[in-house]
Structure 1
Amino acid sequence: MKKAFVFPGQGAQFVGMGKSLYENSPAAKELFEKANEILGFRITDLMFEGTDEDLKQTKVTQPAIFLHSVILAKSLNEKPDMVAGHSLGEFSALVANGALSFEDGLRLVHARALAMQKACEANPSTMAAILGLPDATVENILAEIDDIVVPANYNCPGQIVISGTMQGIATACEKLKAAGAKRALPLKVGGAFHSPLMEPARKELADAIMHTHFSQPSCPVYQNVNAQPVSDPEVIKKNLIDQLTASVRWTQTVQNMLADGASSFLEIGPGNVLQGLIKKVSTEVETAGIQ
């Protein structure tokens, strides 16, 4: 009977996130205030009282979700047997299993958000959700398109998010609909995350990661790039660097955690998207969330 902790990524944010935690826990309040100092602006004001537009900025969204998730995890009395996080959530997972300190995790997330924002501005690009086609069909169709367009997130069986140039995504959506996709839905995102277009951000983040201390974690992290359990700090670092330009293999991550004995999944942080995706992989498994 193994307990898995999972952590959400960008898109799960909402105004008011973390507010009750801040108001009801002195330990949580202290961590939020420490985060305000590290970031150099009062992110708590934007999280608790800001607007949807404030929270949608990548440089705010990513640290906000990280803080909500990590401070929640620290408030729990239980420890996980395995952890994973969807994209940005992988950083939350690495604080939860002790591979990263709270402070270093926040600094890396902040650096990641700024680097990604810069890459998005340099290369206008986008993403789209594709529903109702097998993974292999999507992969084969994307491989025939001349523009940059790749699978970005394998979210659950029958749901892939693709990422690429504006033209590449437009062409792919047409072809995938013609091939029988139930939906090919362009997403309101700042750019082509988890694609080769994030290479400038990957290089920038690589430098920050290589200069950060990673400890031996208390339990394995199932990493996005290969969906495998990892406990070696050096391998964790390499996979974390590669994550920005590689696909998020969430379907395979959940399958591997189940195969390795996960009997329950607790989603820690804003929203409940991951619980829904996990249920699409296995209807039997127990899921819950805390936000």
Structure 2
Amino acid sequence: MHAYIFPGQGAQFSGMGLDIYEKSNIAQELFEQANSILGFSITDIMFEGTAEQLKETKVTQPAIFIHSVALAKTLGDKFKPQMVAGHSLGEFSALVANGVLSFEDGLKLVSKRALAMQKACELQPSTMAAVLGLEDQIVENICSETNGIVVAANYNCPGQLVISGEIEAVNLACESLTAAGARRALVLPVGGAFHSPLMEPAQEELASAIENTTFNEPNCPIYQNVVASAVNTASEIKKNLVSQLTAPVRWTQSIQQMVKDGATEFTEVGPGNVLQGLMRKIDRSVTTNGAKLEDNN
């Protein structure tokens, strides 16, 4: 079975999407439509902006979504996903790929999500840190024993977990994790504590936007971050998207379940190749590649 996977925040780079825009009429139309929906020229920032400009949450999230969906749309008839998954923000790209959301509705939701998350970040200083070389259980135990709010946020691959929470609590946890034998416990340059209880203020806003958006029934299963298993109904997809803001991204577990359910080939669709790197650490027995732009559209 052929699975398609879509990256999240962190995959952006200066110049992203320019090659697709120049080679594909389909992509050009989507990029121009995106500028119109957002009310500003996000393509200018994607094609010519600095890394600093691209790092802003309100830019990063729509930019990665637009790039991923545009690339998927250029794949033509050979794009026939039998299962999909997306890392955090990437779930929205995956939901366009499996017919649940239109491009327009997906982009509007991604934009609202980004702005709601940005607001939540501004309410309380917070951060995230990457932890390398420890078992998940040890990281979880240390987080639960640390004063303040700090939780396991991203299960990226075996031996690579991201924690999230209040700045002081994350720093304390990093000290304890290093003492427990972590190869690295490094605070990340991010705007806030994504996938932690500190994102609760953003949930209400996103829930309202989701409730007012048309969700179709999926044409193939999506393996959502919150449950790490196949989801086949629009109602459950909506509920999980809201929960995702404060719940961990169970990426390792999602990929393992997809393989267990019959996935033999994984194609990453979007900027960069972060997910391909994670795939090789999760399961080397499956074929992993990146989507290639089709020139004839």
Scaled by the length of structure 1, the TM-score of the pair is 0.98
Which segment drifts farther, 140-149 or 84-93? 140-149
- Match of 2:87? 86
- Match of 1:135? 136
1 CA distance for matches of 2:291 and 2:120?
A: 33
- Match of 2:272? 271
- Match of 1:18? 17
Matches within 5 A, 1:79-118: 79-118=80-119
Q: Residue 112 of structure 1: SS of its match in structure 2?
A: helix
Residues 1:229 and 2:230 aligned together: yes
Deviation, 1:152, is: 0.4
- Match of 2:2? 3
- Match of 1:37? 36
1 CA distance for matches of 2:93 and 2:139?
A: 30
Deviation, 1:281, is: 1.0
2 CA distance for matches of 1:102 and 1:139?
A: 37
2 CA distance for matches of 1:264 and 1:290?
A: 12
2 CA distance for matches of 1:281 and 1:13?
A: 23
2 CA distance for matches of 1:23 and 1:277?
A: 30
1 CA distance for matches of 2:201 and 2:151?
A: 17
Which segment drifts farther, 151-160 or 17-26? 17-26
1 CA distance for matches of 2:134 and 2:50?
A: 36
Residues 1:55 and 2:47 aligned together: no
Q: Which amino acid aligns with 1:165?
A: E
Structure 2, unmatched stretches of 5+, are 293-297
1 CA distance for matches of 2:284 and 2:92?
A: 27
RMSD: 0.7
2 CA distance for matches of 1:124 and 1:290?
A: 37
Give % identity.
68
Which segment drifts farther, 178-187 or 15-24? 15-24
1 CA distance for matches of 2:235 and 2:85?
A: 17
Matches within 5 A, 1:119-134: 119-134=120-135
Q: Which amino acid aligns with 2:33?
A: K
2 CA distance for matches of 1:146 and 1:267?
A: 38
- Match of 1:259? 260
Structure 1, unmatched stretches of 5+, are none
2 CA distance for matches of 1:71 and 1:216?
A: 22
In 1, are the aligned partners of 2:26 and 2:73 still within 8 Å (CA)?
A: no
1:125-181 per-residue CA deviation (whole Å, 9 max, x = no partner) reads: 000000111101111111111200000000011110000000010000000111111
Number of aligned residue pairs: give it: 290
In 1, are the aligned partners of 2:7 and 2:86 still within 8 Å (CA)?
A: yes
Q: Which amino acid aligns with 1:38?
A: I
- Match of 1:64? 63
Scaled by the length of structure 2, the TM-score of the pair is 0.96
- Match of 1:184? 185
Matches within 5 A, 1:140-219: 140-219=141-220
In 1, are the aligned partners of 2:128 and 2:170 still within 8 Å (CA)?
A: yes
Q: Residue 207 of structure 1: SS of its match in structure 2?
A: helix
Q: Which amino acid aligns with 1:29?
A: Q
Deviation, 1:65, is: 0.2
Deviation, 1:85, is: 0.3
2 CA distance for matches of 1:168 and 1:105?
A: 34
Deviation, 1:117, is: 0.7
Deviation, 1:290, is: 2.7
